[in-house]
Structures are given as C-alpha cells and as structure tokens.
Amino acid sequence: MNLGGELVFSGARVSRIVGVSDMCVSQNPEETLITYSLGSCIGLTLFDPDTRVGGLLHSLLALSRMDRVKAETNPCMFTDTGVTLLIQTLLDMGAKKKRLVAKVAGAAAPLEGHSSFQIGERNYTVLRKVLWKNGILIAGEDVGGKAARTLSLYMDSGVTTIKAAGREVEI
C-alpha cells in the first residue's frame, strides 16, 4: 500500500495518482488526488472541511474474507478493510467522523453478459454498510452503468469531480 500516491506536477498543482487497490491522504491544498479507470471498482473520497484533511481510496473487491492474506498485506484491495483504513488514517490526521464528506464513484458493470459476478454492486453495498456503521452519509455519487470514470479530489476546496465520456462534473 502506498499512502503517498505517484506525484505528477502540472504548474503549481501537484497530482497524486492513486492506483487500483491503493489510497492516498493529504492535507496539502496544492494537491489533487486522482484515480483512473473506475469500472466495477469503488472510488471513495473523504474530506473534512474544517481540518482540510482528505483522502481517496480505489478498492477492487468487496470483502476481505475472500483472501485474508492479501487483505493483511494490502487492505485497500478490499472495500471493507480499505474504507476502514481510510477513515482511521484521516482521524489520526485530525479529521472528525461527523464532519467527513463522502463522495463515491464506480460500481459499474462494464462487461455485458457477465452480471452474475455483480462486483460493482457488491462493492457499493459493502461501502454503504461500512460508512453507515461509522455514521458517515454519502453526500454525492456517480455509480453504476457501464462507463469507466476518473475521480478527483481537490484538496484546496474539497471539491470532488468525475470525468467520464469526455465530460467532467462535480459530485
């Protein structure tokens, strides 16, 4: 797990790229946290507007019990352990649960005719359950469908955007 993300510089802004089965946290207002290719995976941003602490998680599978060894070495691979880790990391940085703003993207079904796996639906269900157990409501989302998405969290404002099919919108 890489809690820093790959750095990409563009003028004065710094983007931290979050890969599949990874997360990144920040409190640097000059950074943007970004993840690409959210299909059936879940992308979650959490941001505390008071402390300006935030993070982005890109989890691949719903439940860690399917592979405990992988879950121990990479908790971000799984939605249940990844969301828990992201919340705890932000709390350790000074965030408060009651102030966390949650935005969600992904949970798509990009493969026609393979709905029996329902990976996206399972990821989304587990995400909602973990957030609910922690008293965190989802403030915005772009989930389901077939399109892959890019998810970005702008640390200076807490704004979360989705880019899909050539359009970028705030959620």
DSSP result, 7-27: EEEETTEEEEE--TTEEEEE-
Q: Report the mean per-residue pLDDT for the chain.
A: 92
The 10s digit of each residue's pLDDT in 60-114 is: 999 999 899 999 999 999 999 999 999 999 999 999 999 999 999 999 987 665 5
Q: Rounded to an integer, what distance in angstroms lies between the CA atom of residue 146 and that of residue 164?
A: 10
Residue 6, beta-bridge partner list = 17
3-state SS of 103-139?
A: EEEECCCCCCCCCCCCHHHHHHHHHHHHHHHCCCCEE
Domain spans, the chain: 6-170
Dist. CA 59–CA 73, nearest whole Å: 14
- Provide the whole-model pTM: 0.91
Q: What percent of the chain has pLDDT over 90?
A: 84
pLDDT of res. 7: 64
Is the confidence at residue 115, as pLDDT, over 60? no
pLDDT recorded at residue 2: 47
pLDDT for 165: 87
The CATH architecture assigned to 6-170 reads 2-Layer Sandwich (3.30)
